């Protein structure tokens, strides 16, 4: 019986060699480029700059307004035993309507007013400091997002490599079986083995073929998930380059994760400084020009006025002290969270390092066993070619070899995942 299924798989494997190759850096670059969080923080930096520009305009530039209005208080005059409607009274004594002493008969305004804040330089420095810290927070968020993407993308990339190598293991076993099937065909023809023995190996070929297809499907699924994480719409099958993560040296300096706590602390201080501005004296220069008249307006009533306005908060129900206490509590919470993070981070790193050492030991032990299996396979192959071994024994050996290869691969990929997690924490 021709092992045509194996030949087809070899052709498929050969076509995969011509597939487009991509490495981890390609996916990391795409993930950075397509990250909504990074894009959001970049835009937030632009908004921070515009906010500061807006505040600078409010604090340093004059505010010019056009103010206009007409207030009328019509009356019904009863002077001289008559009832006469007067839109603007000329001084009636007996009338129905608002008191003329209060209304002045009407009010007419058409003014251009100007308000110029004074002594705003110190206030601008407070807002500029707040904007600078906000910008640093956004930049740090971008750095943390990139670092997190390296961990997430690296994790998914490892899953892809694992599926691909599992498929390669199955394909390698199919190749070995193909060689043995050729030998078995001749031995069956010479009546050294029975037809049933050949059928047993054919069933094994089908089993490994199904396993290969399963791992190929799993590889595509993991590859689609990798594209999803990185924002890649391409659905074509690509060949991923192998990776070998190494443990980064222990970060003996300040952890980059702590930058967030430092900036959050500075942000609390900056917010408190902005809140304190309301308790500083406010000095404004103001002026207006135009019409501001009572009774009917006349050109002679065109004029201007100017002055200085001063304000200072004296008492607001102890809100200033309450806000200071809130800021102090926020600082205390932040410090507690930082200490907790440092403790958990150290514990997690030590745990992962112990897991890596344990996995290394298991890899060494299993590779030694794999070498013994390889020697046993060579011996079994020679005996099989002479018709001196049971097919069932040979089939069981193949299963043991397949299981051992997958076990070693499982440990190696587990080690890569552990290193990826450790390097994320060791930042």
Domain boundaries, the chain: 4-425
Per-residue pLDDT of the chain (427 residues; tens, 9 = 90+): 444 455 545 545 554 555 688 999 999 999 999 999 999 999 999 999 999 999 999 999 999 999 898 888 888 888 888 888 887 777 788 888 888 776 666 778 889 999 999 888 899 999 999 999 999 999 999 999 999 999 999 999 999 999 999 999 999 888 888 888 888 888 888 888 888 888 888 888 898 899 999 999 999 999 999 999 999 998 888 999 999 999 999 877 788 999 999 999 999 999 999 999 999 999 999 899 988 877 666 666 688 889 998 999 998 899 999 999 999 999 999 999 999 999 999 999 999 999 999 999 999 999 999 999 999 999 988 888 888 888 888 889 989 999 999 999 999 999 999 999 999 999 9
CB half-sphere exposure, 332, CA atoms < 13 A: 6
What CA dihedral angle connects 166, 172, 178 and 180, to 10 degrees? -110
Q: What local confidence, expressed as pLDDT, does residue 11 receive?
A: 47
Over the stretch 197-254, which tens digit does the pLDDT of each residue have?
Answer: 888 888 888 988 999 999 999 999 999 999 999 999 988 889 999 999 999 998 777 8
Distance, CA of 319 to CA of 304 (rounded, Å): 39
Strand order in the sheet with 95-96: 84-86, 75-77, 95-96
For residues 128 and 401, is the Cβ–Cβ distance under 8 A? no
pTM score = 0.84
114's enclosing H/E stretch is: strand 106-118
Domain range 4-425, CATH architecture: Up-down Bundle (1.20)
Please state, as a whole number, how many other Cβ atoms lie within 10 Å of the Cβ of residue 163: 22
Which residue bears the tokens 């971008």? 142
Question: What is the average pLDDT value for the chain, to the nearest integer?
Answer: 89
End-to-end distance of the chain based on CA atoms, in angstroms?
58
Token representation of residue 94: 């007996």
CA quadruple 89, 91, 94, 97: dihedral positive or negative? positive
For residues 366 and 342, is the Cβ–Cβ distance under 8 A? no
């Amino acid at each position: 019986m021709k092992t045509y299924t194996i030949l087809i798989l070899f052709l498929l494997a050969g076509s995969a060699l011509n597939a487009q190759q991509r490495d981890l850096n390609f996916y990391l670059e795409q993930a950075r480029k397509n990250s909504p969080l990074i894009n959001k923080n970049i835009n937030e930096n632009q908004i921070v700059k515009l906010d500061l520009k807006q505040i600078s305009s409010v604090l340093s530039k004059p505010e010019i307004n056009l103010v206009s209005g007409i207030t009328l208080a019509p009356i019904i005059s009863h002077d001289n035993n008559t009832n006469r409607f007067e839109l603007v009274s000329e001084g009636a004594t007996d009338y129905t309507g608002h008191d003329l002493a209060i209304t002045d008969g009407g009010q007419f305004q058409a003014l251009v007013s100007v308000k110029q804040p004074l002594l705003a330089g110190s206030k601008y420095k407070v807002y500029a400091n707040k904007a600078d810290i906000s910008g640093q927070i956004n930049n740090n968020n971008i750095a943390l997002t990139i670092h997190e993407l390296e961990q997430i993308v690296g994790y998914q990339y490892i899953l892809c490599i694992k599926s691909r190598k599992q498929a390669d293991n199955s394909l390698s076993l199919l190749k070995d079986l193909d060689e043995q099937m050729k030998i078995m065909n001749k031995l069956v023809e010479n009546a050294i083995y029975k037809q049933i023995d050949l059928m047993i190996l054919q069933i094994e070929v089908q089993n490994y073929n199904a396993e290969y297809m399963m791992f190929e499907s799993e590889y595509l699924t993991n590859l689609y998930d990798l594209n999803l994480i990185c924002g890649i719409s391409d659905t074509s099958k690509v060949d991923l380059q192998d990776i070998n993560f190494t443990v980064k040296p222990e970060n003996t300096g300040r952890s980059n994760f702590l930058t967030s706590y430092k900036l959050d602390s500075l942000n609390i201080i900056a917010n408190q400084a902005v809140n304190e501005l309301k308790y500083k004296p406010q000095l404004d220069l103001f002026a207006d020009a135009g019409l501001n008249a009572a009774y009917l307006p006349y050109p002679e009533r065109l004029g201007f006025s100017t002055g200085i306005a001063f304000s200072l908060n004296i008492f607001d129900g102890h809100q200033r002290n309450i806000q200071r206490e809130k800021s102090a509590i926020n600082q205390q919470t932040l410090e507690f969270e930082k200490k907790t993070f440092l403790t958990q981070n150290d514990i997690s790193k030590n745990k992962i390092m112990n897991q890596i050492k344990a996995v290394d030991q298991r890899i060494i032990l299993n590779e030694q066993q794999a070498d013994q299996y390889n020697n046993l396979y060579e011996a079994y192959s020679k005996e099989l070619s002479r018709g001196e071994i049971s097919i069932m024994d040979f089939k069981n050996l193949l299963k043991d070899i397949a299981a051992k290869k997958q076990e070693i691969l499982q440990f190696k990929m587990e080690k890569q995942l552990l290193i990826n997690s450790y390097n994320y924490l060791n930042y």
